[in-house]
Every structure is written in C-alpha cells, then in structure tokens.
Structure 1
Amino acid sequence: MRTAGAAGSRDSCRARGLSTANPQGINAPCYGYCTAACLNQLVLVAFVDESYPNLKDKYFVSAVVVDMVALFDLNQGFRDVVSYANNAFGVDPAAELHGHEIMQQRKHWRPMAGKVRGAVKVYKKCLSAIADSGAKIFLEGVDVTRLHQRYSRPDDPHEIALRHVLERVDEYARHRGRKVLVVADVVPGQANHAAILELFSKRGTPGYRSSMLTQVIHPVRFDDSSLHFGLQAADLAVYLYRRMNCVTETSPAAEKSVREMWGTLLPALHHARLWVP
C-alpha cells in the first residue's frame, strides 16, 4: 500500500531498499530533484518510445508513466526477467528488453534462437512486471495512409502521435496534482520535436482537444534506452500494440500468444487509440 505524505513516501522507498538521497541508485535520473521522496511526491516520469512498420502505414507512440515507487518496482521486475533469461537460456545479463529483439531472438537474444515459446514466456514476464509495478500505459497511433489522403501537407506522424500521447499523459498528471518529466528514446530530429512541444506549452496543441501541456516539464529529454528500463518497457508495450494493429499472424498459436500477452498488459493500460483522420 502506498502511503501519502513525504514521510510515508520516504518510508515506502526505504522499504524497497531505495536510498532517499540518491534516486540514481535505481537506474532513475534525478534531473535536479534532490531526494527520491521529493520526486515521488511531486513528479511522475513518462518514458516514451515509438514503433512503426514503415512510415507509409501506421505510426505508434507509447508512454509508460510511473512514480518513484512504481519505477523502483519496475526496475526490479525487469532485472529479475533478465536474470531468468540468463539462467534459463544463457542470454547476456546486460541484455536490453526490446520487443522485436526478444520475439525474433536477435542481438542479445540470439541464444534463444528457435525457442519461440521461451521468447513469449520472457515477454509475458516483462509485461507482468509492468502491470505489477503500478505503471500506467498510454498508447497512441496514427494511420499515416489516411493522414496523407486527408491532408495535403500533414504534420509529421511522430509529432502527431507524440503530442497526442502527451496530451493524455498531461491530463493524467493534472488529475493527480503532479508534474511529469518526459524521457523519450533518441530519435532523428529530436531537438526539433522538443522545441515544438515546448511551443505547445505556450500556444496549445492543435485540434479540438487543445492542451497547453501545463504539467509537462520542458524540455522533453531524449536518452538512450540502455540507460532506462522505463524506455524498454515503453518499447515492449508499443511493439505489442503495433503488432496487434498491423500484423496478420500466420498461425493460430501465434495469434493466441499475442492475445495472451495483451491480456497480461491490460491491467496497466490507461489509454489506447489508433487515430484514423
């Protein structure tokens, strides 16, 4: 149970082995906040990643939103998954948890080549760790084909999906009286994306549900996924959502596995939408 108040928050952190003086000790950036208790009380962190089959089809962005307690639990859960994969399949203990690499048994996950059931089991363990941590998942997609059919000079699909997901994250944070730090995976043109989002905080986002993104702390930060289990969680969520919307599974077994994985993630899901202009 999470206890309200700074003292309760500090006790909650200590109960999980988290130093209240150094949030970086749990693979979480401090970003100028002096204590974990302070960060837990005042700020949420939204980890953002994207996935797309190609830029002419559909584009998806996810956000995994956590407070400090949920982030600690998520990190511990992911460490446990990597430890399991190392012991069971010989996967590198430094392996990152990315949806495509796990399911295709590539890069660090090559030792699992041909072990599809094992890959699905690892993926489910990741999704269970997300759900069990108390993290909230936000998913936004854009139908790029329809976007170009409707608009002669449409905005960039990444920018559209990113602002849509941040509108929902901002709304979530506002209802909880929190500010939210946004940490996104590195992407081409990230400085321009950050500048545009900061401009929205002054003029409002386009559309009928315009938002000033008042709860978002600007600028949005872009960082390498290897540094944050939160970014890897966002990758796992958005890969699965993209697969459900873009891939026709080749066998009943594969279709069943995807449905089961989605069911595992559902307790953490706060918002999911594919925007068809």
Structure 2
Amino acid sequence: MQGDNLQKIKKKQKFLDILSQKTKTRFLLKKKSEKEIPKRKNSPLFNHVPEIVIQRLPIYIRILTKIQKQGKLQISSNLLGELSGISPGIIRKDLNYFGRFGKQGSGYQVIELKDTLKTILGLDGTWNVGVIGLGKLGDAIASYTGFTNAGFRIVALFDTDEKLHGKKISRITIQSLDELKRSVKTRNIKIAIISTPSNQSQDVANRLIDSGVKCILNYTQSSLKVPKEIILKHVDPISTLQSMAFHLKNYHLNK
C-alpha cells in the first residue's frame, strides 16, 4: 500500500514538472513574441515598410479624423476600406507593419489608431518649412492655410527677384537667397519646397542641402540630383496630366 502511494506521488510530481515546463515554455515564447513586435513609434525598425504603405497612412488619418469629429469611437476595417476605397485586407496588412491594432469583432479604437499613425509619420509635432520661388505657384503654396492642421508650418520665404524682397505673404517676409543658410539654422527648417523656374531648381537644391535641409519637395519639371541621404519628392502636374491623357486615349480606343 505504501509503495502504491509512493508511486502515485512520483507520477503526480512528474506531471507537475511537465506542466511547469510547458507553462515556462509558453511564457518564454510569449515574451519573445512581444519583443519581436515593433514599438508603435517612428524608428529604424520601420525602414522595411514599402513606400506605398507610407503613402496610404495619411489617407487613414484623414478618415479617422473625420470619424472622430462625428463622435464615433470605433471603426472596422470594412468601414475604413469603404471610406478610403482601399480593401480591408490591404488596410490590415498595412497596419500590421507597425504592430497590433484593434480586436477581432470590435474593430479599431478611432482616437488611438489616429494618434498612433500620426506618431509613426512624425506628425505628433510641427515641422518648419521654407518655400523658395514666389511666383504664382509659390505664392499659392505660401498662402495655403491647410498646412498647419496637417503638422507643417511655413516659416520662411525666399526668392531671387529683388523686387519681391521685403514683401509679405501671410505675414511672412520674402527674403533673398543669401539669407537661406542663416534662416534654415535659426528657424530649424527641415523641409523646403522648390517652386522656382526649372533652370534655377538644381542650384536652389544644392544651396538647401548645403544649408542643412533634409527634405525637398520639388514642384518644378526638373529632375534634381541630390545625395542619397536627402529625401526628395516630385510634384509635377503636367507629367500627371500627360499620363492621364494616355489612359483617356486608350479608354476611348477600347470602347
């Protein structure tokens, strides 16, 4: 009888040891999994994110902001897809690049998701912007009031035309390019918009880079050459219209 009891105790202890080991293994796997999930902030961990995904994040933020103003606290990927024109599957895949969001069956918390995406994009603060070239296009850009709510503030204006120096657009004085380097430093300008004539754009880009600007938005038709560490984006309405003409022509040919 005593031997049977001893055998039962040994079996019970063995079972508890196995159970303890399994629990420990699950705990370690969980901790490892948690470490592998990127923190929800802008960091080098997100360098692998495709550019097309980054371009869609502002669309999600715009819709979430609108939904928040309507007083809604949650949103499903289906509704977000319906409002954005992007499939729910792509939305979920996009968000998975940055961590775990939402709960199955209840969707996403609107404010939490919006604020997190803004932080990922670096829009939890305000970026100072300079505009170079104050012709009709540059004037329109400098006068646009929508930048502030989007996380950007135009703080300096520059032009090579001496007749424009000293004039103001939206209370900002137009300066000579000779003031560029000093203004970039004193006003902490990280982003510049080039809206000069095309034949001036490369020289302006060179001066911006030499002054410490890290990002350039090019509104000219010139293809700029910049070092690989400089972030360069092109906005060319004419090229866009020309590509649209191609699709329009082929649409009519195929009708």
TM-score between the two structures when normalised by the length of structure 2: 0.26
Higher relative contact order (CA 8 A, sep 6+): 1
Q: Who wins on radius of gyration, i.e. which is larger?
A: 2
TM-score between the two structures when normalised by the length of structure 1: 0.24
